[in-house]
Structure 1
Amino acid sequence: MIKTMVFDIGETLTRDDRYWASWADWLNTPRHTLSALVGAVVAQGLDNAEALRLARPGLDVDAEYAAREAAGRGEHLDETDLYDDVRPALAALRAAGVRVVIAGNQTTRVGELLRALDLPADFLATSGEWGCAKPDPEFFARVMTVADVQPWETLYVGDHPANDIYPAAYAGLRTAHLRRGPWGHLWADDPAVAAAADWRVNSLHDLLDLADLS
């Protein structure tokens, strides 16, 4: 039985539209250009920060991030950044007795912003808060600590095969690949992803059917 479901954040719970649009505006790059560069690095399997370096060669991403925060143009999240199924699906899972955990590769600031949204979850943490990021096994060891059940009773839900599905499966968790966002759509029908994921879903509402599966 699946007793705990753990959710990735970016392009699983939240849209990245605002994130990339704000970076494009900061770098004085047309939004469509940066969006296309993100697609290019996704297709090549590269870290998405490479899109920023393609837009501005030699960019120090960490330094630029700090400059944006100092200028009052840093990270922002509100209700409009959530996918429509997030609140109802997570609330329904909790009502069904599933422990809901949110844990993804995000900054400490994003953790603060998500907590301010008061999502229906039992626990929330980001890689910035933990000091380790996916696909590092240490991240999934932390996940299992907060899941508070056995690995085979835990489902990790995410859109990114290399960061979510493969390392979670290697750690012994069950996995659900979500067809959402550029990574989710690009690899939705990839044979390797199909082999690694226990389930492939198109919506968080689909997870309600998995809560009682053994």
Structure 2
Amino acid sequence: MIRAVVFDVGECLVDETREYGTWADWLGVPRHTFVAQFGAVVAQGRDYRETFQVFRPGFDLDEQRAARAAAGQPEWFGEGDLYPDVRPALAGLRAAGLWLGIAGNQTVRAGRILRGLFEDDVDLIGTSDDWGAGKPEAGFFRRVAEATPFEVGETLYVGDRLDNDIRPAAAAGMLTALVRRGPWGWIQQHDPAAAAATFRIDSLGELPVRIAEFNAAAR
């Protein structure tokens, strides 16, 4: 049975469209040009950070994050950047008695933002910077498992990426839900590996019913 649900952050809970645009602005390139190159990099199975190298060779993402913050333009997201199904889904899952967590590849700063947005809604908020381990490393998912008060096979990890979310979470022994949205969600949807996800969904709003049905069948 599923007793815990843990969510990825970017393109699962948070729509990163605006943030991609601010990076294009920082680089001084048209937003549609940046997004087109970003999609090409993702479609080729490369690290998304290679996108920045196209426009500025030698680009260091950590250094530029610090430079943006120093210039008064830090990376940021807020309530308006959440996908509209997030709050109803969390409420529905909480009402069903499920333990909830958020864990993703995020900075310490992003972790503080997440706690401001979700501290009263979930039981765990963890980031790669907090833990010193990032997806798809096995160490990241071990930290998730250690922080969850149930067996690893009773945890559902929800994400938009096969490479960073679904495959490594499954390798750690978790059940998985692949949400089709964001660059990876759409580009990777026809990959045969997508069929291995426990659930394939188009909205987080599907989760309360899908989990209830899964648990009823498991009884």
TM-score, normalised by the number of residues in structure 1: 0.96
Q: Which residue of structure 1 aligns with residue 172 of structure 2? A: 171
Greater than 3 Å deviation, 4+ residue runs: none
Given the alignment of the two structures, is residue 191 of structure 1 paired with residue 195 of structure 2, yes or no? no
SS at match of 1:117: helix
* Deviation by residue 1:57-112 (Cα, 9 ceiling, x = unmatched): 22122211111111111111111110000011011101110111000111111111
Unmatched 5+ stretches in structure 1: none
- Per the TM alignment, residue 210 of structure 1 is displaced from its structure 2 partner at its CA by 3.1
Instruction: Give secondary structure in 1 for the equivalent of 2:84.
Output: coil
Cα pair 1:159 1:180 within 8 Å, conserved: yes
1:96 aligns with 2:78: no
Q: Deviations over 1:105-161 (max 9, x none)?
A: 111111111111236211111111111100100000000011211111100000000
Distance between the aligned counterparts of 1:63 and 1:205, measured in 2?
A: 37
Task: Give ranges in structure 2 of 5+ residues lacking alignment.
Answer: none
SS class of match (1:73): coil
Amino acid at match of 1:193: A
Whether contact under 8 Å (1:98, 1:211) holds in the other structure is no
2: distance between equivalents of 1:134 and 1:60?
19
Structure-2 separation of matches of 1:19 and 1:54? 18
Q: CA deviation at 1:49?
A: 1.1
Count of residues in correspondence between the two structures: 213
The residue that corresponds to 1:158 in the other structure is 159
Do the aligned residues in 1 keep the contact of 2:160 with 2:182 (CA within 8 Å)?
Answer: yes
Root-mean-square deviation (CA, aligned residues, Å) is: 1.1
C-alpha separation between the residues in 1 aligned to 2:169 and 2:118?
26
If the length of structure 2 is used for normalisation, what is the TM-score? Answer: 0.94
In 1, the alpha carbon distance for the partners of 2:5 and 2:189 equals 20
| Partners of 1:157 and 1:42 in 2: CA distance | 19
